[in-house]
Chain A
Amino acid sequence: MNSLIVATLLLILIGFAYQVGWSRSRQVAPAGGRLHSRPNYHGARVAIWALVPALLILGLWAFFSDAASRAFVMAQLPSDVRAMGGSELAQALSRIEQIATGFGVVGEPAPYESAAGQALREFRNLAFALVVAAAAGTGALGLYLARRRIAPRLRARDEVERVVRYLLIACSVVAILTTIGIVASLLTEALRFFTFVSPIDFFFGTVWNPRFSTVGAGTGEYGLLPLLWGTVMIASIAMLVSLPIGLMTAVYLTQYARPNIRNAVKPVVEVLAGIPTIVYGFFALVTVGPFLAGIGDLVGLDIRATSALTAGIVMGIMIIPFISSLSDDIIRQVPRAMRDGSLGLGATQSETIRRVILPAALPGIVGAFLLAVSRAIGETMIVVLAAGNSPYLRLNPGEPVSTVTVTIVNQLTGDTDFASPQSLVAFALGLTLFLMTLILNVVALFIVRRYREQYE
């Protein structure tokens, strides 16, 4: 309710200030002469001058109001109630709060409660009125000062544009802040983790067994290698599936297919890119896993329903459109002259593709490949559902494994106790994952960019 009033008042203030600036600038415009800026810029300038101080005051109040009203209630309470402390004090405070809002409490309120509730309500109303008045006052002051400076030569447009420019810069900085936030949070929490477990044990340990946090701090073993091995194995299987299929799809669609077939097939393949990963996970768990296990039974291999193979194959399917559309772009960038030259010398189409086009496109394809690998190792939901979550070093892809991302989810899901190594290890794992994908991305982007420059 209050925020609605404040928002309405602010809107009125902005509208009024804009109107004042606009009409004032028309007044001061010399007859026949011209203003430097058009009246709407004068209006916007005055509105900004009025809005900023008002917002500043309201923001300060929003920040401090809870502390202020709590301090006020505490001062109202008799000393014996104040001395109670803990949950009883909290209960008394919430009862007073209910009286103040007019909801009332069950039964007769104690005299001090109704007095304090009454006082709190008056205090709030007064404080609200004061703050609104102060905001309106400073707004009006800003408006007045801004209005006074309006003159035909005033560069109102430049001022407004400078403010807009700062806003745009602030928008760009958000992306930087995100990166800083990621690096800072991962680093600080990972460093806290390394006070429990030495980095050498973490990065080179071969046993993953964190135990439960209730057993006591510092127990358990945190070896990264089994998780890393699972990640690498699943990503390799995924690339083995997606690279040939994705690349051949791109080659066929760019070199052989008629345009109408290409226009029909390409979007359908790209549908695979838009499907949420949780759906792939479910698909792996319900269809692919049992199917592979059945095939394994037929040929006498022991393949589990949830295994590195299941997760890897489904992840490969997920990555097909990624590889195919990136390679598609890259193959189409190979200059036509190279292709025509090879065909003109009598090479067949497949020879041209294998010996001319693909070698020319190789750097770009390598870049696409690295980007795809970075996606594969960061993929979470498919492996959470279908990889079996068993963090042991195993060579057989038919056995369940665990990965870095699965373990992050397991260690941190819904957990806010950031003091035990069991949950902090998620950040050390996250840092590892972030660095791995960062290196892959930087290298891949570098290669792709170099490749583009080569043919542009």
Chain B
Amino acid sequence: MAEILSQTQTASDAPGDTLKTIRSGLTRRHARERRFRAYGIAAICAALGAVLILFSMILAKGIPAFTQASLTLDVFFDPAVIEVDPRPEPQPGQSPADYQKARLDWERQVTLVNWNRILEAAIRQAAPDMEVDTRQALSIVETSERFVLRDRFVENPALLGQTVKVDLLASANVDNWLKGNIDRSLPDSQQQLSAPARALADRLLENGTIRFAFATQIFTNVDSRSAPASAGLAGAFMGSLYMMLVVIVLAVPLGVGSAVYLEEFAPKNRFTDLIEVNINNLAAVPSIVFGLLGAAVFINYFRLPLSAPLVGGLVLTLMTLPTIIIATRSALRAVPPSLRQAALGLGASRMQTVFHHVLPVTYPGILTATIIGVAQALGETAPLLLIGMNAFVAAVPATPLDQSTALPVQIYLWQGNENRNFFEARTSAAIIVLLGLMITLNALAIYLRTRLERRT
């Protein structure tokens, strides 16, 4: 505007020139206006582009991981190889400890059976004309699959001497090779699979023994280091689920209670001011500091177990609490005072006013805040690393006190795996699962909010 003023002043003596000056100035100013607008559009495009690139990268990398090479083999449970006693059954009068010992002894025998020989025979039978040695034949199948055979036998010893169709996972290297993730022109020295094994894999795909099937083991299996193709998210998923349960059970009542007190009852004094400032600051404390708190207080002082979802849940609760408190307070503040005045005027106590009339109006807001807080906690990684949740745990946790990991931590562990070719896809698949859960939660929040708000 200073420009406009100065232009009009200098041109004031010659009225004919004024218009000209303004015209020329206008072109410049309009050009600047267009440029400014273009900057704005460019900024929006950059932001939208970032979203687009991020999602397309993850989908492109992750979706192939949801199908996986698997073999269907005719497995002969050869009695010449499987030489074990009959399975012990619980005897009357036998103490559970004795039965367990006998059972474990038997299972040890079964484990010592050379299951690889049975697998090898089945693979050779699927492609009889291929010349491969034992190692090459076995490199087709994931190392965990001999235990699948063992477990089937332990479950049903009557399989001895029978031929059964069994679905087995191909190894991660075979999966990579057949999906074309590996450059086929690389020399032998740079290939994970030997040349005969690669030819065998191609042949098995051709004759239909190997198929690409939906990778259910991503959802049903636990993590595995020795058998990457069978690594799954089940343990991490349960760990995350337990943590979210702890967060919901603790953070919602504490957060809502705290918000109700501060907004409706607290007298205005130094103490409540302190709480208020304190909550606003807690909301902005870096999450890793909460991890340090968990390590020092819950693990080191209270001696709670390392890697337990309970501890993770407690840390995440403390982290989510400010979010829920702040959201609930703003929901309470949005309730019209007339509602309170009406209730108080009819003789309700303040407690009755709040719990019978004010709080129910805010349920949609509290619900949304809870879901958003839980979604935020679900994706948090850094504090969990400090309380040992990055341990390798190959079991689904049965209780919140068992060792476990969590979905985002599993992503962290997988992206660091040496088998980059295979695990980049697997990590992206895990990210898709995590993002899918978070998007579902947020969509649920939006849906519930609109639905509940319409009703009230």
Contact = CB atoms under 8 A, between A and B. Distances in A.
Contacts of A171: 253-258, 261
Contacts of B14: none
Contacts of B40: 248-249, 251-252, 256
Contact of B278 (A167, A175, A268): A175
Contact of A430 (B61, B253, B257, B288): B288
A174 B254 contact: yes
B165 interface: no
B199 interface: no
B30 interface: yes
A270 to B, nearest CB: 10
Contacts, number: 283
Given A179-B282, A272-B51, A276-B434, A351 B1 contact: yes
B29 A282 contact: no
Given A164-B351, A169-B261, A412-B386, A320 B50 contact: yes
A378 B95 CA distance: 57
Interface stretch (A58-66, A122-130, A215-223, A339-347): A339-347
Interface string B272-297: 00110111111011111111110111
A245 B296 contact: no
Contacts of B257: 167-168, 170-172
Interface string B43-82: 1101110110110011001000000000000000000000
B35 to A, nearest CB: 8
A256 B51 CA distance: 22
A134 interface: no
Contact of B296 (A189, A281, A347, A384): A189
Interface stretch (A67-75, A199-207, A330-338, A435-443): A435-443
A125 B199 CA distance: 68
Interface string B415-456: 100000000100110010011001000100000000000000
Contacts of B287: 378, 380
Contacts of B266: 172
Interface string A98-136: 100011111100000000000000000000000000000
A249 B43 contact: yes
A244 B254 contact: no
B220 interface: no
Contacts of B292: 182, 185-186, 408, 412, 426-427, 430
Interface stretch (B135-143, B171-179, B374-382): B374-382
Interface string B22-52: 0000000110110011011111101110110
Given A168-B260, A178-B282, A350-B32, A380 B288 contact: yes
B299 A381 contact: no
A279 B435 contact: yes
Contacts of A286: 57, 61, 415, 424
Contacts of A102: 96
A171 B328 CA distance: 14
B379 A278 contact: yes
A456 to B, nearest CB: 14
B438 A269 contact: no
B103 to A, nearest CB: 12
B289 A433 contact: yes
A285 B288 contact: no
A176 interface: yes
Given A98-B97, A252-B43, A412-B292, A178 B54 contact: no
Interface residues of A, number: 99
The interface centre, meaning the residue of A178, A189, A384, A412 with most chain B CB atoms within 10 A of its CB, is A178
Interface in A202-258: 244-249, 251-253, 256
B369 interface: no
A379 B383 CA distance: 11
Given A178-B293, A269-B51, A409-B386, A433 B288 contact: yes
A378 B96 contact: no
A346 B438 CA distance: 48
23 contacts: A168-B260, A169-B261, A179-B282, A246-B43, A248-B39, A252-B37, A272-B50, A272-B51, A275-B379, A276-B434, A282-B58, A282-B411, A286-B61, A346-B1, A350-B32, A351-B1, A375-B284, A380-B382, A384-B412, A408-B292, A416-B295, A433-B289, A437-B286
Given A174-B321, A185-B296, A320-B47, 10 more contacts: A181-B297, A265-B44, A269-B44, A275-B54, A276-B408, A317-B54, A346-B1, A351-B32, A405-B382, A437-B289
Interface of B: 1, 4, 29-30, 32-33, 36-37, 39-44, 46-48, 50-51, 53-54, 57-58, 61, 95-98, 101, 253-258, 260-262, 265-266, 274-275, 277-282, 284-293, 295-297, 299-301, 306, 318, 321-322, 325, 349, 351, 375-376, 378-382, 385-386, 388, 390-391, 408, 411-412, 415, 424, 427-428, 431, 434-435, 438, 442
Interface of A: 98, 102-107, 157, 161, 164-165, 167-172, 174-176, 178-179, 181-182, 185-186, 188-189, 244-249, 251-253, 256, 265, 268-269, 271-272, 274-283, 285-287, 317, 320-321, 324, 342, 345-351, 353-355, 371, 374-375, 377-381, 384-385, 405, 408-409, 412-414, 416, 418, 426-427, 430, 433-434, 437-438, 441-442, 445
